[in-house]
């Protein structure tokens, strides 16, 4: 794939001291535009499809823009491709930059045996934005219930993040893995999740029982010494 060319424009909003970032990237076959707000992606445009999405979460989204057509997509894509061609000729087709990914695996909700849940494999900080992910359960490949999120760019360093998810019903002893392959890695990177059932808690009833037992022992001990004391008094008379 041809080296990606990215144009950057930084502007500041004085009243709120926030920083907006605009990125345009393309290859010889496709292109994207990203709007960032204080280091987070706020909007994403697919220049090939001409579609725009606001990608901020609902609680943080100040815009009322509805997903729709991006009328300038074709023009922006053409400009980007022209700049890409100039860049390649000027720098004599330099090698594509690489950044290896990091990953972690965790459940969305508290794990309860027999209850449907979602495993999340979060992959961060990689470039170029191409990788493969394989799920396994007890050493067997899993393809059902698998999904992935849209690629999200880190506007601070232009690396990428992506979520991969697996719907699963945990059973004690099951072992799940998420394996990532990327050209910047020396070999596949695997993260493992073991389904473990927590030991049952002692709970209030146990503590209550222990307390009651100690209380009864205290009463018995007190009674014993009271009787002995009375016997001593009788003997003295």
Q: Which of 116, 115, 120, 103 is CA-nearest to residue 166?
A: 120
Predicted structure pTM score: 0.60
Model pLDDT, residue 151: 82
Show Cβ contacts of residue 153 under 8 Å, excluding neighbours closer than 6 positions.
23, 34, 36, 41, 129, 159, 160, 161
Give the model's pLDDT for residue 78: 84
CA proximity to 96, closest of 153, 158, 23, 48:
158
Backbone angles phi, psi at 214, to 5 degrees: -65, -35
Domains 5-91 and 102-194 share a fold: no
Domain boundaries, the chain: 5-91, 102-194
Q: Topology of 5-91 in CATH?
A: 3.10.320
- pLDDT (0 to 100) of residue 52: 76
pLDDT at 96: 75
Per-residue confidence (pLDDT) for residue 75, from 0 to 100: 81
Hey, what CATH topology would domain 102-194 get?
Answer: Immunoglobulin-like (2.60.40)
Per-residue pLDDT tens digits of the chain, which is 237 residues long: 344 434 333 333 333 455 667 777 777 777 777 777 666 677 777 777 777 777 665 555 555 555 566 767 788 888 888 888 888 788 777 777 899 999 999 999 999 999 999 999 999 999 988 899 999 999 999 999 999 988 888 877 888 899 999 999 999 999 999 999 999 999 999 999 999 876 655 555 544 455 545 454 554 455 444 444 554 444 444
Dihedrals φ, ψ of 57, to 5°? -65, 160
What are the φ/ψ torsions at residue 179 (nearest 5 degrees)?
A: -110, 125
pLDDT of residue 112: 93
Cis peptide before 139 (omega within 30 of 0): no
The answer to whether 22 and 37 have CB atoms below 8 angstroms apart is: no
Per DSSP, helices labelled H in 73-187 are 73-91
């Amino acid at each position: 794939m041809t080296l990606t060319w990215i144009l950057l424009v930084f502007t500041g909003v004085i009243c709120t001291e926030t920083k907006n970032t605009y990125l345009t990237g393309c290859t010889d076959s496709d292109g994207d535009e990203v709007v960032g707000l204080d280091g987070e992606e706020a909007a994403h445009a697919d220049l090939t499809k001409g579609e725009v999405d606001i990608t901020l979460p609902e609680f943080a989204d100040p815009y009322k823009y509805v997903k729709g057509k991006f009328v300038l997509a074709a023009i922006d894509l053409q400009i980007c491709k022209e700049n890409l061609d100039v860049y390649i000729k000027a720098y004599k087709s330099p090698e594509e930059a690489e950044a290896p990914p990091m990953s972690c695996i965790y459940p969305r909700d508290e794990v309860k045996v027999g209850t449907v849940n979602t495993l999340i494999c979060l992959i961060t900080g990689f470039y170029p934005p191409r990788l493969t992910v394989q799920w396994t359960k007890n050493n067997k490949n899993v393809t059902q219930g698998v999904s992935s999120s849209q690629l999200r760019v880190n506007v601070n360093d232009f690396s990428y993040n992506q979520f991969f998810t697996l719907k699963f019903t945990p059973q004690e002893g099951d072992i799940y893995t998420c394996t990532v392959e990327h050209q910047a890695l020396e070999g596949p990177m695997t993260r493992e999740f073991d389904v473990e059932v927590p030991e049952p808690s002692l709970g209030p009833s146990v503590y209550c029982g222990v307390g009651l037992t100690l209380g009864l022992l205290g009463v018995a001990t007190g009674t014993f010494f009271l009787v002995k004391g009375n016997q001593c008094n009788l003997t003295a008379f």
